[in-house]
Amino acid sequence: MEFNAIKKIYFIGIGGIGMSALARYFRLHGAEVHGYDRTETDLTRSLAAEGMHIHYEDDVAFIPENVDLVVFTPAVPKDHAELNWFLERGYPIKKRAEVLGIISRAKRCIAIAGTHGKTTTSTMTSHLMRACGIDATAFVGGISLNLGSNFVEGTSDWVVVEADEYDRSFLHLHPEIAVLNSIDPDHLDIYGTEEAVVESYKQFIRQIKPGGKLIYRYGLPIEDVVAELRASGRQAFSFGIEEGDYEAFSVRVVEGQMAFGLHSTIFDWSDFRLNYPGKHNVLNATAAIAATLSAGGFSELLGVAVAGFQGVKRRFEYIVRRQDVVYIDDYAHHPAELEAAISAAKMLYPDRKITGIFQPHLFTRTRDFAEGFAAALDLLDECILLDIYPAREQPIPGITSATIANLMKNPNVNLINKKDLLNLLKTKDIQVLMTMGAGDIDTLIEPIKNLLTTNPKH
């Protein structure tokens, strides 16, 4: 399908972070964009302000005539009326990942994969490339605070994309450079086993183009595929802290910033400064630096570019930052992500009480990783657990937020309904507060911010 010929395009689930980036791409290229989403959000309001036609009821009456292409996300339920209307009438229908694959095939693609760190690393890579002389197009899985969007079009032949493992979406990509941050089990409702997760990542790596490069976290269980790559004339470089081909060293906190050096076979830098806390973000930065250099970015501009990275919305995002109280919001929804975010806060604020509010995302994920969630949340001084956000799932008998609470060693745990949260917070001594989760916990950010700003206790 020739995408440039598309005059009218329809998105089912247009408010998703990946879907909205594609919608912005087609709007920029002159298409009339229509779409459905379940709920109105800041992002859908932004899309409407950019000239897109969006509605929030699953009703075929909203579908315009002469739609050239329908794009949908696998998160849409099978009984969705609009999706079935298009299917029954034989419209051209593609998954989001397939469309991204077709767009990126025409360019030199850097694809960022991994269970965690994809969004920060892809956003950081696009920022570093653009700051180091490569005007890259970017489709990223979060709102970049540098770019002010999840999509930006560049003039170079490079594109940076986030390679999503959900529903094996990333197998639509054939990158020139692939970055692999982590392979932790997730989406077991799709994959079934941890082995199937690893095998899917290996297949993604095998799709790197001839002459291409893999940049991977040191120690991942992929040595057999790394050997395959090298035998076929492709390259593979590892990265890590105190290990790997790109080796970050002397990682420390200096005046609220992460400071570190970086050694590689070609370059040595003694002092990077990153305004994004935590060792996991030093790893993300190391991967992004390696990708930028591999694409030919100017190395002498890297120091300023790394220091200038402002971050991503909902990734350790400061909502309130005062002497007396700090409020951080984070998208963390897997045990390893919770541990990374909470550890980063403890590293920055070692002498303050850290209170975390967590909304588990999906019944299956809560069931599969309850012990991991409990261990990560035990790092908090005080934990507030909201009800599970179901997203696409039906409840599982016996699986609730109490499943996590019952495994925790921390005595300071509150199980609470979302509507009662603000009243509970009014009674608490808040020093450092974190909201964490991938559900609709983000609707609480403004009310919590207002409470911390207006409540005389804070």
Structure confidence by residue, pLDDT tens digits, 305-326 = 999 999 898 889 999 999 999 9
φ/ψ bin of 362: left (φ > 0), alpha (ψ from -120 to 50), beta (otherwise) = left
In a domain, 273, yes or no: yes
Give the residue numbers spanning the domain of 154. 107-307
How deeply is 76 buried, as exposed, middle or buried, from its count of CB atoms within 10 A (0-12, 13-18, 19+)?
buried
Q: How many CA atoms lie within 13 A of 273 on its CB side?
A: 7
Tell me the average pLDDT of the chain. 93
Please compute the mean of the pLDDT values over residues 425-454 and round it to a whole number.
94
Of 421, 456, 180, 147, the residue nearest 309 (C-alpha) = 147
Please say which residue of 250, 279, 307 terminates a domain: 307
Q: Is the pLDDT of residue 34 over 80?
A: yes
- Give me the sign of the Cα torsion angle 57, 60, 62, 66: positive
Say how far apart CA 173 and CA 168 lie, in whole Å: 10
| pLDDT at residue 371 in the model | 97
| pLDDT at residue 256 in the model | 82
| pLDDT at residue 176 in the model | 98
Helix (H) or strand (E) holding 160: strand 158-162
- Reported as a single tens digit per residue, the pLDDT across 142-170 is 899 998 999 999 999 999 999 987 777 88
Please compute the mean of the pLDDT values over residues 417-431 and round it to a whole number.
95
Task: Categorize the per-residue pLDDT at 60 as very low, low, confident or very high, splitting at 50, 70 and 90.
Answer: very high
Active site residues: 118-119, 162
Task: Categorize the per-residue pLDDT at 188 as very low, low, confident or very high, splitting at 50, 70 and 90.
Answer: low
Task: Categorize the per-residue pLDDT at 456 as very low, low, confident or very high, splitting at 50, 70 and 90.
Answer: low
Helix (H) or strand (E) holding 339: helix 335-348
Same domain, 362 and 436: yes
- Reported as a single tens digit per residue, the pLDDT across 337-396 is 999 999 999 989 999 999 999 999 999 999 999 999 999 999 999 999 999 999 878 999
Please compute the mean of the pLDDT values over residues 192-197 and round it to a whole number.
76
What is the signed CA dihedral for 102, 103, 106, 112, rounded to 10 degrees?
-100
Tokens 């996300």 locate to: 73
CATH of the domain at 437: 3.90.190.20
Same domain, 128 and 255: yes
In a domain, 268, yes or no: yes
Say how far apart CA 431 and CA 442 lie, in whole Å: 20
Same domain, 235 and 376: no
Same domain, 157 and 236: yes
Q: How many CA atoms lie within 13 A of 339 on its CB side?
A: 12
In a domain, 54, yes or no: yes
Same domain, 281 and 329: no
Q: What is the pTM of this model?
A: 0.85
